[in-house]
C-alpha cells in the first residue's frame, strides 16, 4: 500500500492566486475591525484589563466550552455543531498551511487518515447545523428571531461553502480513486455519484468557487453577524468581575454631567457590548417587561443603541478630532423611549441568559441616572418615594420616628436592650412600614427568639438601604443613605447583618463595599435553613399542602440562593415541592424590582398577574416567597385576579406558624 | 420682571409632634423640618416665570439659621438668590410675621410676590392678605391658575360654587393653592449649587407681639376600627352595629 497522503493543490494551476485573494480578504477584514474600534474608542474609560488569568477562565468556560449557549439544549446543540465544525475545519486548513507554506510535512500516513476522517465528519456536522439553522430561521421562524439582510447572506454563504467543499473533495476522489477512500465517508459517497471523466473539471471549478466564497466569508466577518465569533469571546474576557449586578458608583462632587445622555457617555466596554449582540433573542424570551407587552425588549434596546452609535459615530469622531465641543444628542426620546427605560425591573434575566455576556442593566440605570439627576424627569410616583427617602429615609414617606412601631406589643431586641449582638438585624423599610411585610418581621422576631439567636435591631436609627433610589437612577440619594448606614453599622461594631429583604441583602453585600463597608450579610432564608438543619428549630413535617417557591430575582440570579428557601419549605411538605413554569435562573420577576414597586404599571398586562397565573396553572396551594416586594406584588395579584385557593406566604411566616 | 417668593420651614407632615413642658410650643429635637408644602407651589410658579419670561427670582424666609436648609431647597429647585430674615424664636402671630417681612419686602421692588396659601403648622392663611394691606398691594389668594402678562396678572381661584377669574395690575400678591402646578424635584446640579449657595441674612426687629399661644394639646385619640368580617356574610352584623352601636342608620 502507498503511504496515504494527498498532493496539495492537485489539479489547480495558478493556485498562488489564493495568496492574493487572502491578502485582499485580510485588508477588508482589518478595515472592518478598525471601523468598529474607532467607534468603541468614543466611549469613556473602564478598567477591564486587570486579572488576566481570571478573565481567561471566564472566556474558556462561557465561550470555548459554550456553557452559556448550551443552557438551551436543542438550539445549543445545533450551535455546537456549527461551532465545533468551524473550529475543526479551521484547524484542518491551518495544517494545510503548515505543510504548504512552512514545509512541515504532517499530512501523510496514519495521521493523514485520521485527519481525513475527522475533517470529513465535522464537515458533515457543520452542514447539519447549518441546515437546522436555516430551517429554524426561515421556516419555523420563532418570535424572538427576526430576519435582517445579513441573515439572507450568512447561512446560504456557509451552506454553499460547505457544499462546494464536499463536491470538490468528491470530485478529487473520483478522479484519483485513493485506496484509503473509506476514511472520507462523505467524500467517498459523493465520489460515487460523479462521472470520472468529468471529475477533474468539476474539481477545478468547485475549488475556485469554494476558495473565493471562503475569502468572501473571511472579509465579511467584521461587517456581519459572523463578527460574533470574535466579539463574544472578547466580550466574555472583558466581563465584569465585580459582584453580579453591582452598579457603578459615581463621583457626584466632581462631575459636570451625570449618567448617560448621549451615546459616547457610555464606557468603551458598554459600546463593545453593543457589537457583541448576535440577536439570538434569549434576553427577550426571559424579560418580564417584554412578556407583559411593555415596549421594552432587551434585544431591541441593544440593537437600537448600536444603531445610535453608528448614527452618532461620524459626528462624534469629527468633534473628537477637532476638539470642538460636542453638542449632545440625547438617547432618550430618540433611540430609546422613556417607557422602555422605566419598564425594566432590573431582574437580571436578560443578562443571566445572554450568551454574549452583555451587561444590559447598567445601561438602563445609566440612562435613568441622566434623566433623574440631570433633567429631573421620572414617573411622577417616584416623586413621593424620593421625597420620602430624603426626609424620612424610607420610600413610603412614613415618619422616620415610627420605624420601630411594628415592634409594639411583641418581643424584639433593640440595640439599646442588647448592645453586643452576634447579628445586627437590618429590618428594611418594607418590613418596618408596609403592613403586609410587617407580618414577616414579626414572624422573624418570633423565630429568632425561639432559636435563641443573639440579635438586635437598630430601631428608628435605621435608614433605607438605598436600593430603590439607586435602581431608579437617583444615585445622590442612594449615596446619602449608603454612607449613613455604613457609618451606623461601623458604630455598632456589627460584623454580621441579617435581613429578610433580598434588595437590602444585595445592596449591603454587593454595593456597600463601594463605600468602605464590608459586612457579612445573611438572608433570613439562609439563617432559618441553618437553624432547622442544626436542630435549633423543629418543624412538623407535612403541614403544608401542595407548595411551590417563587424565586426572588435578587436572591436567585443576583446571589445564586435558590436552595435555602426551598429546603425550608420542603421540611414542611415531606420533601415535595412543585416548580412553577419559570423557576431558578429562569424565574419570572414579581414586577417590584428596580423601584417598579413604587411606580404604576400603566402599559400592557401586569407582571404580577402573569406570575401568579403560573401558580394557578400549577394548582399550588401555598406559594412561598422570600422577599417583601414579591409578597406584596403577588398577594395583590391573587386579590385582583380573584384567585381562590392560593396563599402567598413569606417563608418566615410559614415557619413561625409552626412554632 | 422680579418675582419674590416667601417660604417657611414647617415640621414634616410625617413627624411625630411632641408638646414641650411649657405646653406652649413643640419639642424641636428629632423633628425633620421641610419647606412648607404650599410654598413649594409658590416656588414652582416663580421658576416657571423664570424659565418662560426670564424673571429674576428671590426667596425670602423668616427664621433662625436652621431655616437655611429650606432656602437651600429653594436654590436646589432653581431660585436665583435667597434671603433669610433672622429671627431667633418662632412667631405664632401672623401680623407680627407680616410686619417683620414687610420691612424687607418693601425695599425689593418686585413685580410679583407669591406665597403658599398657608403654612401647614399654624394654618392661619393670614400672611398674604396682611402683606397686601401693609404694602398697599392687591392680593389674590388660593390661586389654582396664573397667567402673567405685561403689567397685569389673571388668576383663577376655586370657590365652592365654581371658578372665579380675577385680574390685577402688578405689582401684586398671589397665594398658591394645591393644583397651581406640580413642584419639581431638584436636579443634582441644583442640589450641588444649593450646597454652595450664599444666603443673605437680614436683621429685623420683631415688633410688638399682640397674639400669644397660651396652650397646646394633642388631638383626641382616634377610636379603634373593627373589621366585622369579609364578603356578604358580614353585612347583617355590619348593619346591626351601624344601627345599634353607631346609631348611624
* Burial category of A419 from C-beta neighbours within 10 Å (exposed 0-12, middle 13-18, buried 19 and up): exposed
Task: Indicate yes or no: CB of A375 within 8 angstroms of CB of B187.
Answer: yes
Q: Is B188 on the interface with A (CB under 8 A)?
A: yes
Q: Is A498 on the interface with B (CB under 8 A)?
A: no
Residue of A251, A379, A399, A473 to mutate when probing chain B, most B C-beta within 10 A: A399
Chain A with chain B: Cβ pairs closer than 8 A: 43
Q: Is A258 on the interface with B (CB under 8 A)?
A: yes
**Chain B residues within 8 A of A374 when measuring between CB atoms:** 187-189
Mean pLDDT of chain B: 93
Q: Measure B168 CA to nearest chain A CA, in Å.
A: 33
Q: Is A391 on the interface with B (CB under 8 A)?
A: yes
Count other C-beta atoms under 10 Å from residue A91's C-beta: 13
Task: Indicate yes or no: CB of B184 within 8 angstroms of CB of A476.
Answer: no
In angstroms, how far is CA B121 from the centroid of its own chain?
A: 9
Taken in order B115, B117, B123, B125, is the CA torsion positive or negative?
Answer: positive
**Chain A residues within 8 A of B184 when measuring between CB atoms:** 376
Task: Indicate yes or no: CB of A392 within 8 angstroms of CB of B187.
Answer: no
Q: Is A463 on the interface with B (CB under 8 A)?
A: no
pLDDT band at A203 (very low <50, low <70, confident <90, very high): very high
Q: Is A399 on the interface with B (CB under 8 A)?
A: yes
pLDDT band at B227 (very low <50, low <70, confident <90, very high): confident
Does B153 score more than 70 pLDDT? yes
Q: Nearest-CA residue of chain A relative to B186?
A: A376
Taken in order A178, A183, A185, A187, is the CA torsion positive or negative?
Answer: negative
How many Å apart are CA A143 and CA A139, to the nearest integer? 12
Query: What is the reported pLDDT for B152?
Result: 95
Q: Nearest-CA residue of chain B relative to A383?
A: B185
Mean pLDDT of chain A: 94
pLDDT band at A648 (very low <50, low <70, confident <90, very high): very high
Task: Indicate yes or no: CB of A252 within 8 angstroms of CB of B188.
Answer: yes
Query: What is the reported pLDDT for A10?
Result: 85
Task: Indicate yes or no: CB of A374 within 8 angstroms of CB of B189.
Answer: yes
Q: Between A529 and A104, whose confidence is greater?
A: A529
**Chain B residues within 8 A of A373 when measuring between CB atoms:** 187-189
Q: Is A380 on the interface with B (CB under 8 A)?
A: yes
Cα three-residue angle A468-A469-A475, rounded to 5 degrees: 145
CATH code for the domain defined by A17-237: 1.20.950.20
pLDDT band at B53 (very low <50, low <70, confident <90, very high): very high
How many Å apart are CA A473 and CA A366, to the nearest integer? 7
Nearest alpha-carbon partner for A649 in A554, A547, A561, A558:
A547
Q: What is the ipTM of this complex?
A: 0.83
How many Å apart are CA A284 and CA A282, to the nearest integer? 5
Q: Is A402 on the interface with B (CB under 8 A)?
A: yes
Q: Measure A391 CA to nearest chain B CA, in Å.
A: 7
Residues ≥6 apart with Cβ < 8 Å to A642? none
Q: Measure B186 CA to nearest chain A CA, in Å.
A: 6
Query: What is the reported pLDDT for A519?
Result: 96
| pLDDT digit string, tens, across residues B110-144 | 999 999 999 998 899 999 999 999 999 999 999 99
Query: What is the reported pLDDT for A1?
Result: 61
Q: Is B27 on the interface with A (CB under 8 A)?
A: no
**In whole angstroms, how far apart are CA A356 and each of A68, A367, B14?**
8, 21, 48
Q: Is A381 on the interface with B (CB under 8 A)?
A: no
Q: Measure A253 CA to nearest chain B CA, in Å.
A: 8
Beta strand B152-158 with B139-149 is antiparallel
Q: Measure B119 CA to nearest chain A CA, in Å.
A: 18
Query: What is the reported pLDDT for A444?
Result: 98
Question: What number is the average pLDDT over the span A336-350?
Answer: 98
Q: Measure B180 CA to nearest chain A CA, in Å.
A: 16
- Minimum-distance CB partner of A386 among B14, B34, B185: B185
Does A2 score more than 80 pLDDT? no
Task: Indicate yes or no: CB of A258 within 8 angstroms of CB of B192.
Answer: no
DSSP E strand stretches across A142-212:
none
- Minimum-distance CB partner of A376 among B34, B187, B192: B187
| DSSP string over B69-123 | HHHHHHHHHT-SEEEEEE-SS----HHHHHHHHHHHHHTT--SEEEEES--TTT-
**Chain A residues within 8 A of B187 when measuring between CB atoms:** 373-376
Q: Report domain extents, chain A.
A: 17-237, 263-374, 383-658
**Chain A residues within 8 A of B12 when measuring between CB atoms:** 391-392, 399
pLDDT band at B208 (very low <50, low <70, confident <90, very high): confident
Q: Measure B146 CA to nearest chain A CA, in Å.
A: 22
Residue of B12, B14, B231 to mutate when probing chain A, most A C-beta within 10 A: B14
Does B91 score more than 90 pLDDT? no
| DSSP string over A488-521 | HHHHHT--EEEES-HHHHHIIIIIGGGGT---EE
Q: Is B191 on the interface with A (CB under 8 A)?
A: yes
% of chain A at pLDDT higher than 70 = 100
- Minimum-distance CB partner of B188 among A258, A387, A391: A258
- Minimum-distance CB partner of A376 among B16, B32, B184: B184
**Chain A residues within 8 A of B191 when measuring between CB atoms:** 476
Q: Measure A637 CA to nearest chain B CA, in Å.
A: 18
Q: Which three-class secondary structure state does DSSP give residue B155?
A: strand
**Chain B residues within 8 A of A399 when measuring between CB atoms:** 12, 14-16
Q: Measure A61 CA to nearest chain B CA, in Å.
A: 42
Query: What is the reported pLDDT for B63?
Result: 94
Question: What number is the average pLDDT over the span A30-57?
Answer: 96
| pLDDT digit string, tens, across residues A451-491 | 999 999 999 999 999 999 999 999 999 999 999 999 999 99
Q: Which three-class secondary structure state does DSSP give residue A575?
A: coil
Residue of A381, A401, A477 to mutate when probing chain B, most B C-beta within 10 A: A401
How many Å apart are CA B24 and CA A657, to the nearest integer? 48
Q: Nearest-CA residue of chain A relative to B31?
A: A401
- Minimum-distance CB partner of A399 among B16, B188, B192: B16
Q: Nearest-CA residue of chain A relative to B32?
A: A391
pTM for the model stands at: 0.91
- Minimum-distance CB partner of A383 among B185, B189, B192: B185
A173-187, A422-436, A551-565, B216-230, range with the lowest pLDDT: B216-230
Query: What is the reported pLDDT for A129?
Result: 96
Residues ≥6 apart with Cβ < 8 Å to B11? B17, B26, B31, B32, B33, B34, B121
Query: Look-up: residue for cell 476638539?
Result: A323
Grid coordinates given for A657: 406558624
How many Å apart are CA A286 and CA B142, to the nearest integer? 51
Residues ≥6 apart with Cβ < 8 Å to A407? A414, A445, A457, A459
Does A317 score more than 90 pLDDT? yes
Q: Nearest-CA residue of chain B relative to A372?
A: B187
Q: Measure A417 CA to nearest chain B CA, in Å.
A: 21
CB A187 within 8 A of CB A170: yes
Task: Indicate yes or no: CB of B187 within 8 angstroms of CB of A373.
Answer: yes
CATH code for the domain defined by A263-374: 1.10.1060
* One fold for A17-237 and A263-374: no
Task: Indicate yes or no: CB of B15 within 8 angstroms of CB of A401.
Answer: yes
Q: Is B185 on the interface with A (CB under 8 A)?
A: yes
Question: What number is the average pLDDT over the span A243-255?
Answer: 94
Q: How many CA atoms lie within 13 A of B211 on its CB side?
A: 11
CB A655 within 8 A of CB A570: no
- Minimum-distance CB partner of A401 among B16, B188, B189: B16
Q: Measure B192 CA to nearest chain A CA, in Å.
A: 8
Q: Measure B209 CA to nearest chain A CA, in Å.
A: 32
Bridge partners, A523 (sequence order): A499
Amino acid at each position: 500500500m502507498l503511504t496515504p497522503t494527498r498532493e496539495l493543490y492537485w489539479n489547480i494551476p495558478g493556485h498562488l492566486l489564493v495568496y492574493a485573494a487572502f491578502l485582499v480578504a485580510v485588508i477588508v477584514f482589518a478595515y472592518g475591525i478598525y471601523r468598529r474600534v474607532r467607534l468603541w474608542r468614543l466611549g469613556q474609560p473602564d478598567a477591564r484589563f486587570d486579572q488576566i488569568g481570571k478573565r481567561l477562565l471566564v472566556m474558556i468556560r462561557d465561550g470555548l466550552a459554550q456553557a452559556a449557549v448550551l443552557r438551551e439544549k436543542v438550539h445549543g446543540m445545533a450551535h455546537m455543531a456549527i461551532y465545533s465544525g468551524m473550529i475543526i475545519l479551521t484547524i484542518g486548513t491551518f495544517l494545510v498551511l503548515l505543510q504548504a507554506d512552512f514545509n512541515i510535512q504532517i499530512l501523510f500516513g496514519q495521521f493523514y487518515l485520521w485527519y481525513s476522517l475527522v475533517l470529513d465528519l465535522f464537515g458533515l456536522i457543520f452542514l447539519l447545523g447549518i441546515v437546522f439553522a436555516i430551517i429554524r430561521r426561515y421556516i419555523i421562524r420563532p418570535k424572538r428571531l427576526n430576519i435582517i439582510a445579513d441573515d439572507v447572506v450568512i447561512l446560504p454563504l456557509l451552506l454553499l461553502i460547505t457544499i462546494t467543499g464536499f463536491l470538490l473533495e468528491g470530485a478529487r476522489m473520483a478522479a484519483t480513486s485513493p485506496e484509503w477512500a473509506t476514511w472520507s465517508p462523505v467524500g467517498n459517497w459523493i465520489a460515487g455519484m460523479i462521472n470520472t471523466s468529468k471529475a477533474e473539471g468539476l474539481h477545478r471549478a468547485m475549488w475556485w468557487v469554494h476558495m473565493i466564497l471562503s475569502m468572501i466569508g473571511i472579509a465579511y466577518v467584521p461587517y456581519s453577524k459572523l463578527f460574533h465569533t470574535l466579539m463574544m469571546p472578547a466580550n466574555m474576557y472583558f466581563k465584569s468581575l465585580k459582584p453580579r449586578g453591582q452598579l457603578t458608583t459615581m463621583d457626584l462632587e466632581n462631575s459636570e454631567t451625570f449618567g448617560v445622555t448621549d451615546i459616547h457617555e457610555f464606557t468603551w466596554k458598554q459600546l463593545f457590548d453593543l457589537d457583541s449582540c448576535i440577536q439570538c433573542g434569549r434576553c427577550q424570551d426571559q424579560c418580564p417587561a417584554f412578556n407583559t407587552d411593555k415596549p421594552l425588549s432587551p434585544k431591541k434596546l441593544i440593537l437600537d443603541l448600536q444603531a445610535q452609535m453608528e448614527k452618532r459615530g461620524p459626528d462624534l469622531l469629527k468633534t473628537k478630532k477637532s476638539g470642538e465641543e460636542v453638542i449632545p444628542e440625547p438617547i432618550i426620546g430618540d433611540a430609546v423611549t422613556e417607557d422602555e427605560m422605566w419598564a425594566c425591573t432590573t431582574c437580571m434575566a436578560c443578562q443571566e441568559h445572554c450568551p454574549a455576556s452583555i451587561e444590559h442593566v447598567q445601561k438602563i440605570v445609566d440612562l435613568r441616572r441622566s434623566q433623574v439627576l440631570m433633567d429631573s424627569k421620572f414617573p411622577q410616583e417616584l416623586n413621593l418615594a424620593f421625597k420620602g427617602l430624603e426626609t424620612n429615609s424610607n420610600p413610603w414617606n412614613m415618619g422616620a420616628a415610627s420605624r420601630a412601631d411594628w415592634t409594639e406589643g411583641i418581643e424584639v431586641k433593640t440595640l439599646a436592650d442588647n448592645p453586643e449582638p452576634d447579628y445586627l438585624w437590618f429590618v428594611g423599610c418594607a418590613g418596618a412600614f408596609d403592613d403586609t411585610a410587617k407580618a414577616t418581621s414579626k414572624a422573624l422576631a418570633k423565630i429568632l427568639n425561639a432559636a435563641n439567636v443573639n440579635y438586635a435591631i437598630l430601631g428608628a436609627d435605621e435608614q433605607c438601604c438605598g436600593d430603590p433610589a439607586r435602581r431608579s437612577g437617583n444615585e445622590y440619594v442612594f449615596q446619602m443613605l449608603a454612607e449613613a448606614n455604613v457609618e451606623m453599622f461601623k458604630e455598632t461594631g456589627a460584623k454580621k447583618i441579617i435581613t429578610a429583604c433580598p434588595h437590602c441583602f444585595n445592596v449591603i453585600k454587593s454595593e456597600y463595599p463601594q463605600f468602605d463597608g464590608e459586612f457579612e450579610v445573611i438572608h433570613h432564608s439562609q439563617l432559618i435553613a441553618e437553624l432547622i438543619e442544626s436542630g435549633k428549630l423543629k418543624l412538623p413535617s407535612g403541614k403544608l399542602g401542595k407548595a411551590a417557591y417563587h424565586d426572588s430575582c435578587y436572591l436567585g440570579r443576583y446571589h445564586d440562593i435558590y436552595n435555602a428557601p426551598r429546603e425550608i419549605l420542603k421540611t414542611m411538605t415531606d420533601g415535595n415541592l412543585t416548580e412553577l413554569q419559570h423557576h431558578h435562573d429562569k424565574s419570572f420577576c414579581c414586577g417590584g424590582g428596580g423601584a417598579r414597586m413604587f411606580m404604576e404599571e400603566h402599559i400592557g398586562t401586569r407582571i404580577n398577574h402573569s406570575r401568579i397565573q403560573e401558580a394557578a396553572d400549577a394548582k399550588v396551594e401555598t406559594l412561598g416567597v422570600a422577599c417583601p416586594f414579591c409578597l406584596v406584588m403577588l398577594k395583590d395579584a391573587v386579590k385582583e385576579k380573584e384567585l381562590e385557593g392560593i396563599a402567598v406566604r413569606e417563608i418566615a411566616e410559614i415557619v413561625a406558624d409552626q412554632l | 420682571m422680579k418675582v419674590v417668593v416667601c417660604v417657611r420651614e414647617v415640621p414634616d407632615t410625617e413627624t411625630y409632634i411632641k408638646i414641650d413642658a411649657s405646653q406652649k410650643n413643640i419639642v424641636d429635637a428629632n423633628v425633620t423640618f421641610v419647606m412648607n408644602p404650599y410654598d413649594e407651589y409658590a416656588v414652582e410658579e416663580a421658576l416657571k416665570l423664570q424659565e418662560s419670561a426670564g424673571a429674576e427670582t428671590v426667596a425670602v424666609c423668616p427664621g433662625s439659621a436652621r431655616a437655611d436648609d429650606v432656602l437651600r431647597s429653594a436654590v436646589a429647585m432653581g431660585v436665583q438668590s435667597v434671603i433669610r430674615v433672622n429671627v431667633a424664636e418662632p412667631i405664632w402671630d401672623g401680623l407680627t410675621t407680616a410686619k417683620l417681612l414687610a420691612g424687607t419686602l418693601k425695599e425689593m421692588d418686585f413685580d410679583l410676590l407669591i406665597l403658599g396659601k398657608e403654612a401647614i403648622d399654624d394654618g392661619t392663611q393670614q400672611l398674604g392678605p396682611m402683606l397686601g394691606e401693609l404694602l398697599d398691594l392687591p392680593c389674590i389668594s388660593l390661586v389654582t391658575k396664573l397667567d402673567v402678562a405685561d403689567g397685569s396678572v389673571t388668576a383663577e381661584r376655586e370657590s365652592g360654587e365654581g371658578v372665579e377669574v380675577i385680574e390685577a395690575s402688578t405689582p401684586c400678591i398671589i397665594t398658591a393653592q394645591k393644583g397651581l402646578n406640580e413642584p419639581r424635584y431638584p436636579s443634582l446640579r441644583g442640589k450641588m449649587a444649593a450646597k454652595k449657595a450664599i444666603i443673605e441674612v437680614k436683621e429685623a426687629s420683631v415688633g410688638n407681639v399682640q397674639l400669644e399661644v397660651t396652650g397646646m394639646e394633642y388631638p383626641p385619640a382616634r377610636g379603634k376600627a373593627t373589621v366585622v368580617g369579609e364578603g356578604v356574610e358580614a353585612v347583617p352584623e355590619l348593619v346591626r352595629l351601624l344601627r345599634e352601636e353607631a346609631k348611624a342608620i
